[in-house]
A and B are shown apart, each in its own frame.
Chain A
C-alpha cells in the first residue's frame, strides 16, 4: 500500500484490491473517507443502505462502520486498485480555520455514490501521481489538494458551504436495530459482521438480538431466508440458482442442505409438492 501522510496521519492511500468477498471498513475515531476504484464492481454496505462502487462511481462515506463487497464474488481473487482520501476534522479545522461545531447542517445518508465526472477524474489522477512519487508531495501541495477536495465535494453534494459539508461528514446517522437487521436479512452476513454494522460487540449484539426477536441471530435469519425461498419456489419462472442468489445463501449446496434440514424436503421436491 502506498500512502501520503500529513501531520502524522494518512490522508491519501492507494492499494491493490486484494481477494475478498466482503471486507470490513471499521470506523476509526473521527474519520470520513472517499473511495475511488480503477477496476471491478463493488458494493458498499452500510447499516441500512448499499451503493455500488466502480470506475465511474466513487463513494463518499461518513465516519461509520461499513463493508466493501465484491459484487461478482464467487471465485474472485483480486482486481484493480483503490485510491482513498481520508478526512479528519482536526486537519480541516486548521486548513480552513473552521470550527465544525459551528455548523448544524446534517445530511440523511451515511454513504453516498458520487459520479466520477471529468473534474473528479482529474483530481483522482493527480492524487494517484502524488502517491506514485511521494517526493513531490510536500505539505503545501498536500494542503492545497485537501482543500481542493473539500471544495469539489461541497459543490457536488450541494452543501451550503465547505464548513457545512465537512461538519455533516462527522455526524453519522445511527439506524434502529430492527431496521439494520431487516435491511440485511438476505445479505449473507455473519453474526460478527452484523454486530459490526450495529456498532456493537458480538456479545452485546447477541443479547440485544435475543431481546428483540426471542431467537439467536442465525436461527432467526436462516428461518426467514428459507421462508422467502419457499415463496419464491412456488414461482415456477425462477430457477433454483436465482432463488439462492436472491435469498443470500453462499452456495447452492449450502442452500440445498439447509432447506432440506428445515423442511425435510429438497427444494425441487418442495416445488413439486
Chain B
C-alpha cells in the first residue's frame, strides 16, 4: 500500500524562491497537500504577505526566512531552521544573458553563488537527516539551458548544467535510501525572471508555459522521474541536445539567440 504525499515527506517543506514564479506556485500546491512551509526569499514584506495567504487559504503553518542565498550569511540563516524538513524545494535562481565579454564578473560570480553553491550547500545540509529518517524529497530547478549549448547564456547554462548533473546523480544515489530527488528543467516559462531579461522571445521558436502547470508537473514527477521537462517541444529539444554535436548546437544557438538579443547586450 502506498502512502500519502504528506506522510511520505513529513510535515514541513522548505521552499527557496517561494514568493515568485515557479517557486510561488509550488508553495501553493504543496500547501494544498497539507504540508507546512518554510518560505525563503529576499524581501521580508513579500514573504509575510505570501505566508499569510497560505495560512488563510490552506490552514497550514508557515515560517519565513528572509535571506539572500547569493551570500554565505543568507545560506547560514536557512541552515538554522529548526523544523524537520522532509521536502526541500530549491527554486531560487537568477539568469544573466548577453555578450560574455560585456557582463560583470561580480554578477556572474553572484549567480554561481546562488544557482550552484547555495544549491550544493542546502542539499548537503538537509540530506543527512533525510537519510537518517529514510524518507524525504528534494526538488531542484534546472533549465532547458542546462541541457543545451546556450550561447549568450554561457555561465547561466553552466550553472544549470551543474544542477541537472547534481540532481540526476543524487536521484540515483539517494533512491535506495528512500529519498526522492527530481530535477525540473523548464523551457521558457512566463515568470518575472524571463519577463525582465530583455530577450525578444517572439523571435525564438518557443511558446512560454504557465508556471503553475510547470510546478504541477514537477510535483507529480517527484520520485517518479530523475528529470522533468515540461512541454513536448522542450522534451524534444532536451533529447536532441544529447544527439546533436556540441559544435552544431553552438552554431545554431548563436544564430538563433543572437537575433533575439537586444543590441546593447551584444
Contact = CB atoms under 8 A, between A and B. Distances in A.
Nearest to A237: B53
Contact of B53 (A72, A242, A267): A242
Contacts of A244: 212
A118 interface: no
Interface string B205-224: 00000111101100110000
B57 A79 contact: no
B4 A240 contact: no
Interface residues of A, number: 29
B196 interface: no
Interface of B: 1-7, 24-26, 28-29, 32-34, 49, 53, 57-58, 190, 210-213, 215-216, 219-220
Given A79-B4, A242-B57, A72 B34 contact: yes
A153 to B, nearest CB: 28
Q: Is the interface of A mostly helix, strand, loop or mixed?
A: loop
Given A237-B49, A242-B57, A72 B5 contact: yes
B219 to A, nearest CB: 8
B186 to A, nearest CB: 14
A76 interface: yes
25 contacts: A16-B1, A19-B2, A70-B4, A71-B34, A72-B5, A74-B33, A74-B219, A77-B2, A77-B3, A77-B4, A78-B1, A239-B24, A239-B212, A240-B25, A240-B212, A241-B26, A241-B29, A242-B53, A244-B212, A245-B32, A245-B57, A252-B216, A253-B216, A268-B190, A268-B210
Contacts, number: 80
Interface of A: 16, 19, 40-41, 70-72, 74-79, 237-242, 244-246, 251-253, 256, 266-268
B1 A77 contact: yes
Contact of A41 (B1, B34, B211): B34
Given A242-B53, A253-B216, A40 B4 contact: yes
Nearest to A75: B5
Given A72-B6, A76-B2, 8 more contacts: A239-B25, A240-B210, A241-B25, A241-B212, A241-B215, A242-B28, A251-B216, A268-B210
